[in-house]
Amino acid sequence: MVERWEPGTLVYDPRTREVGEYRDRLGPYAMLRPVGGGREWQADPARLRAATAEERLSAGVRAANDRSREGREGTVTGSCFDEGAARRPPEPVSGCATCAELATRREEARAVFDGSAETDANVLLRQHQRREHGGLPPAGRRIFRYVPYSIVQDASAQPEYEARCVSGDEADCGAASGPCQDPADVEEWQRRHTQETRHLRYRRSFADYAVLERTV
């Protein structure tokens, strides 16, 4: 029996090995859209399954990184920017399950001193609140100023590289290199994993930190 999905549900398509947002049915196909927006694609509804929490978080981080890379090519000018809110970790909106899930992941990352995962959770929480709650929740009086900013890579923070094995027909292998500061370390891990398992397909990701600098 083909499961019926509510519009907006994040599902995993084993054919493309991608997480997509379920949109609607079109004849025998299910229409999915990339997380964060983009061109829709057709999927076999009988093969879809609900995305796991890890898959949802990974897809959200990739979408946030894509938006960050796109924004780095231009500048943010003439914006009403709340400097205090940008520095404060976002607070979950009461009664929102997504806010609660991301806040829990942030606390789990803090507990094991995983700064990268904590930053990812904060980025996703801010993105969710802007998209679903019309901005950040109120947190006292704020002062807004009309100033131009440029988005640049934070030179004081090391970028991170990671690879995850996605070999497999129905399910990914899931083995991961873990965050590395040198892409050569990731490539060496891929070679060792392939020698041990004969797996050949990997998803590689890059993460860095961006800061906003006032344009003079």
Q: What is the pLDDT of residue 79?
A: 44
Q: What is the pLDDT of residue 107?
A: 86
Q: What is the pLDDT of residue 77?
A: 42
Comparing CA positions, the residue from 52, 47, 83, 35 lying closest to residue 213 is 83
Q: What is the pLDDT of residue 74?
A: 43
Determine which helix (DSSP H) or strand (DSSP E) holds 98, and give its type and residue range. Answer: helix 97-111
Q: What is the pLDDT of residue 71?
A: 54
In the chain the first and final C-alpha atoms are separated, in Å, by 61
> Coil, strand or helix: which one is 169?
coil
Question: Which residues, given as ranges, of the chain have pLDDT below 70?
Answer: 1-2, 66-87, 135-147, 215-216
Which residue has tokens 């196909």? 29
The DSSP letter of residue 149 is: E
Q: What is the pLDDT of residue 40?
A: 85
Is this structure's pTM higher than 0.75? no
